[in-house]
Structure 1
């Protein structure tokens, strides 16, 4: 059984890994965190009203309206499984809501 010191060391190492992962995900955002939160709210609203057409049309409109480079958003979303607007909301938001 690990000693108290070993448990504390492991806990500190785990916390460091979590913080590093968080910092990396924040750095990957193609927009400020607050804007990303607004983006996911925007998608949620539009998708509940109009549904998904298997494209990133709402994402592209958001990028245009907010002066964000769409190709950067598209690359970022694809990395986390967001190949259309509904996948962006379902897959990508979960990876970033805890930041």
Structure 2
């Protein structure tokens, strides 16, 4: 049976690895946290007025209007399940929202 110290050391190592992973993912973000929050707000408002067309039309409009690099942001959103506007709001916000 593992000692309390071994269990605590394992927990500390796990937390440190999770923190390092989070920091690495955040450093690789092609969009700032502020712009990402703005995208979520934009999609929330727009999808409240009209249903999702299951495209990234609204997302692309936001990126273009803020001169953000669509070629890198769109694939990054897809890594987190953001394949259409409503999925960006549901999946990406779930992972990267406040």
TM-score, with normalisation over the residues of structure 2? 0.89
* 1:33 CA displacement: 1.0
The reply to whether residue 64 of structure 1 matches residue 97 of structure 2 is: no
* 1:40 CA displacement: 1.0
Do 1:54 and 1:84's aligned partners in 2 also have CA atoms closer than 8 Å? yes
* 1:9 CA displacement: 0.6
4+ aligned runs moved over 6 Å, structure 1: none
Structure 1: distance between partners of 2:70 and 2:50 = 21
Residue aligning to 1:10: 10
Residue aligning to 1:76: 76
TM-score, with normalisation over the residues of structure 1? 0.88
Structure 2, unpaired ranges of 5+: none
CA RMSD of aligned residues (A): 1.4
SS in 1 for 2:2: coil
Equivalent residue pairs, number = 98
Structure 1: distance between partners of 2:21 and 2:93 = 16
Do 1:28 and 1:76's aligned partners in 2 also have CA atoms closer than 8 Å? no
Structure 2: distance between partners of 1:61 and 1:15 = 38
